[in-house]
Amino acid sequence: MKKRVFVGLSGGVDSSVAAALLKEQNYDVVGVYMKNWTADLPGMKCPWAADLADAKRVAVALGIPFRVFDFQAEYKKLVVDYMIAEYERGRTPNPDVMCNQEIKFGLFARAAFAAGADYVATGHYARNLAEKSRNSATESSRNFAGENSSRERHFLARAKCENKDQTYFLYRITEEILARTIFPLGDFASKNDVRAAAKTRGLPTFAKKDSQGICFVGEVGVRDFLSQFVETAPGDIIEQETGRVIGRHDGAIVYTFGQRHGLSVGGGLPYYVVGKNMAKNEVYVSRNLNNREFFREEIELSECHWINDAPKKILADGSSPSYLARFRHRGALVKCEIAKLNAAKNLATIKLAEPQRAVAPGQSVVIYSGEICLGGGIAQ
């Protein structure tokens, strides 16, 4: 009997190719469009209807059943409200991470399994390695705990195309869900190869542009989005070193740590945001790129999630294993060690081999051992 897989069809080229490949691999494929956000914003029409139409066209072209799962209420609560609350606290959240945790590999996966799916699949650029594959693929297998488990383990690995790798957004997936997840695009060398695969198969989305902006709205900036939900008030932009007011902003909530553009502070070298006081509605800036507020050598993480097991702080021989940390999608991988680890409270502190600039509170920090994504936490 064929294994049944529910594929999240977003209406884009990536998920279209994922579904096509699975059908060719003799799976019983069901396409599912997740209806998460449909609200229009001033000057910006939400593209959900067009995306739904494209997803249906792909399903028809492939000759597969098609369903719509409506998660709008849950999405508003779990992703949108979370994002707004984090910005109100002066932090820098990542709604894509929360969307994957709560919706795609939470609600969608559970609904698919309840409806009879053996697996779920998406168009993410990532790889799912079983134990035997992982042992040969990573040079750092000794850094894992629980290696002698009798059950087959599944590990999240970076995509072959490093430029498109999306494991940064997937680090909060559970091993239980990962074991029943397929990432058909993980071995593609480039996005151009994916588009070529779509064109060869006659998929109607082969030339569709990638979506930009906030994950659930489309091409709209954070500032414009937040202005619809949060009242903002003008306040002072203050030079940190002197305490001098050098300009005015239209709401501290929309400024992020390390931001350069959009300050409207003229003349000379550029200013960068180095801090905020949400209670006073003040934004602090500096021209000094060596400002100690910019760089961090140790980063405390809260709400840590480890896909398989917590990383080891000390190895059996007394040495400290070396890991890699990533602070943003497509960001550089930086060598680090686990300085502190409290698995019971989901806390950790990492020590970086070289200081990193502009790591903002609320930002996701993802930890790797070789090409394996171990998990990560939220920078404090």
Distance CA 258, CA 5 (A): 42
Tokens 């989005």 belong to which residue?
225
Asked if residue 217 lies in contact with residue 44, where contact means CB atoms within 8 angstroms, the answer is yes
Catalytic residue among 99, 161, 304, 336: 99
Any catalytic annotation for residue 161? Answer: no
Is 323 within 8 Å of 311 (Cβ atoms)?
yes
Concatenated DSSP letters of 252-285: GGG--TT--TT----SSSPPEEEEEETTTTEEEE
Question: Would you give the distance in Å from CA 128 to the centre of its chain?
Answer: 16
Check if 99 is active-site: yes
Q: Select from 160, 158, 155, 157 the least CA-distant residue to 194.
A: 160
92, 86 Cβ separation under 8 angstroms:
yes
Please identify which of the residues 161, 215, 304, 373 carries the catalytic annotation. Answer: 215
Closest residue by Cα to residue 32 from 103, 129, 125: 103
Kindly give, in sequence order, each residue whose CB lies less than 8 Å from that of residue 140, ignoring residues fewer than 6 positions away: 321, 322, 323, 369, 370, 372
Any long-range contacts for 343-346 (C-beta under 8 Å, 24+ apart)?
Answer: 343/304, 343/306, 343/310, 346/302, 346/303, 346/304, 346/305, 346/377
Q: Which residues are catalytic?
A: 99, 215
